Amino acid sequence: MRHAVVVALGVAVSCALGLAQGQETKPVPKDSVRVYVPGCTKGLIFTASRRTEDQPSNVDVPEGMHLRMNGPKKVMAEIKAHEGSKIELTGLMKKGQRGPDGIGVGGVRISPGSGGASELGSPVASQQVIDVEGWRPLTGDCR
C-alpha cells in the first residue's frame, strides 16, 4: 500500500512538472523581439490590421504592413486553413527590420539603392519577416 502511494505521488509530481515546462515560452534572442500582430493571411504573406485596445502590444506594427511568415509546417498548415479569417500571430521579428526605410545596422539605416535603371533592387530586400511561434483566431473576416 505504501509503495502504491509513493508511486502515485511520483507520477503526480512528474506530470505537474511536465505541464509547467510545456507552458514556458522560448527565450527571445537579443537581436529580436516577440510580437503579437492581428491581421489576415494570403499564402505566406500576413497583412497587419489595426490593433484593438484590449490586445497586448510590445511593438507597433503599422496597419497594412506585409510580413512574410516562416514557421513549422504544421503551424503554417493550420494558418492556411484559416485563410480569409482574422487571426493574431505570435512570433519573433529582428529588431532592426521593423523600420520603414530599410534595415538598421549600428545606428544607421541601410535601404535598397535608388540609382538608375541598372539598380532595380531586390523585391525581397524590403520584405519584413516574422518567425511564427503560434496563432489564435480573432473575430471578424478579411476583405
Are 45 and 124 a contacting pair, CB within 8 Å?
Answer: no
Q: How much is the pLDDT for 14?
A: 53
Residues in the chain: 143
Sign of CA dihedral 20, 22, 23, 29: positive
Question: Considering the entire predicted model, what is its pTM?
Answer: 0.64
Q: Among residues 61, 62, 65, 60, which one has the least CA distance to residue 46?
A: 65
Q: Which residues of the chain have pLDDT under 70?
A: 1-24, 52-59, 97-126
Q: 39: part of which helix (H) or strand (E)?
A: strand 32-42
- The secondary structure of residue 119, as a DSSP letter, is -
Phi, psi (5° rounding) for residue 137?
-75, 145
Q: How much is the pLDDT for 117?
A: 44
Fold of 28-108+122-141: OB fold (Dihydrolipoamide Acetyltransferase, E2P) (2.40.50)
Residue ranges per structural domain of the chain: 28-108+122-141
Q: How much is the pLDDT for 41?
A: 94
> What nine digits make up the cell of 21?
515546462
